Amino acid sequence: MTTFAILAVGLTVAVLLAVLSPLWRNARGLVLGGVAALGIATFALYRVVGTPAALQPDATAAMPATLDEAVAQLEAELKENPNEPEGWRLLGKSYAAQERFAESQQAFERAVQLLPGDADLLVESAQARLFNHPQKKLDAIAVQLLEQALQINPAQQRGRWFMGVAQRQNGQPAEAAKTWEPLLAQVDPNTAATLRTQINEARSEAGLPPLAEPATPAAADAGPALLTVTVDVAPALKAKLATGDTLFVFARQVGGPPMPVAAKRVPATAFPITLALGDGDSPMPTMKLSQLTQVQLVARISKAGDVTAQAGDLEATPVTAEVKPGTPYTLTIDRVVP
């Protein structure tokens, strides 16, 4: 296993350096394979550290310098030791990085033969078939592999995602949406938002209504309004308002960091406008508006919709306010950001 460990490290380094950077921009599918290779790197590093002989100079000298060289060495090793499933898995990933998709599929098929109970490997094999398909579809064999993977591990996220893709490709949008819905509780909020869009598109294709929007933590914890702020625009600047402008209202710690303790973002369509700020408007879970007795209020109209001030934006002179319900404050947009 020493040689395989060294090759695994070399292949992983070569793949990450040569492939992942452009793939982030141009090929989302291949990024999945490249990122998964990082897991193999963990395995490989463990095997190297756990094998003292691998640290000897004559062993480390065999470390491949390029991806092509590493692939050639791994191919040679697998000819000598063909019953190494991790070697075939790594070779399949490396072939995919080189866009040798037919060979990648064959390598993963060999790995699955040797390790049929590995849910992750079954999903990787299905993905290899997807890459190798002329129309980039998940064929019947790929679907069987995904079914096996989900039987072994129903929480396998990529397996569930690809199963939904297969169902949608096969004209089963309702089934695809149902397959994807459990993932909403397993992924981070940004991924969940993108996934929800895909689910609702599938539901629309099936003639189903969109999913109900989830209640946000901020809405649940909003509590009472602690500040009431009215924002108006000076007459001399009203001509500078345009369709698509965005109004930001912030409450910041007096003399503290620029990160607001409460913030609101609304379309800049009509003035004057009155907004309420409370603990539910805090972007920081560690600091709430109710924890402060005094704040600085800031109002800005952004032309680009960017929270950061830019030249040409319109803003108000900041006002210091006491955090006390029932006390109204007024901010007047009266200057242009230079």
CB under 8 Å to 306, separation ≥6 — which residues?
A: none
Tokens of 325: 């319900």
Tokens of 202: 């599938």
CA distance 37 to 33: 6
Phi/psi of residue 336, nearest 5 degrees: -105, 135
Q: Would you state the pLDDT for residue 287?
A: 73
Q: Would you state the pLDDT for residue 232?
A: 94
Distances (CA, A) of 120 to 14, 114, 145, 257: 22, 14, 10, 45
The pairing of strands 319-322 and 273-277 is: unpaired
Q: Which CATH architecture has domain 2-205?
A: Alpha Horseshoe (1.25)
Q: Would you state the pLDDT for residue 175?
A: 96
Q: Which residue has the tokens 């000897």?
A: 56
**Using alpha carbons only, what angle is made at residue 109 by residues 108 and 111, rounded to the nearest 5 degrees?**
60
Instruction: Tell me the one-letter amino acid at 38.
Output: L
Q: Which residue has the tokens 């109710």?
A: 290
Buried b (16+ CB within 10 A) or exposed e, 71-86: bebbbebbeeeeebbb
Tokens of 127: 């993905």
Q: Would you state the pLDDT for residue 225?
A: 81
CA distance 166 to 139: 8
First to last CA, the chain: 64
221-336: in CATH 2.60.40: yes
> Other CB atoms closer than 10 Å to residue 181's CB: what's the count?
17
User: Do 221-336 and 2-205 fall under one CATH topology?
Assistant: no
Q: Would you state the pLDDT for residue 155?
A: 86
Q: Would you state the pLDDT for residue 57?
A: 45
Distances (CA, A) of 169 to 28, 67, 139, 148, 190: 18, 34, 10, 19, 25
CB under 8 Å to 263, separation ≥6 — which residues?
A: 248, 249, 250, 251, 281, 282, 283, 307
**Using alpha carbons only, what angle is made at residue 166 by residues 104 and 164, rounded to the nearest 5 degrees?**
115
Sign (positive or negative) of CA dihedral 257, 263, 267, 269: negative
Q: State pTM to two decimals.
A: 0.52
CA distance 108 to 89: 6
Helix (H, G, I), strand (E, B) or coil at 304: coil
Locate the domains of the chain by residue range.
2-205, 221-336
Q: Would you state the pLDDT for residue 116?
A: 95
CB under 8 Å to 215, separation ≥6 — which residues?
A: none
Average pLDDT for runs of 10 along the chain of length 338: 49 44 38 42 39 44 71 90 92 90 96 95 95 92 96 92 94 94 80 83 91 57 75 91 89 80 85 86 73 92 84 93 86 93
Residues 287, 311: contact at Cβ < 8 Å?
Answer: no
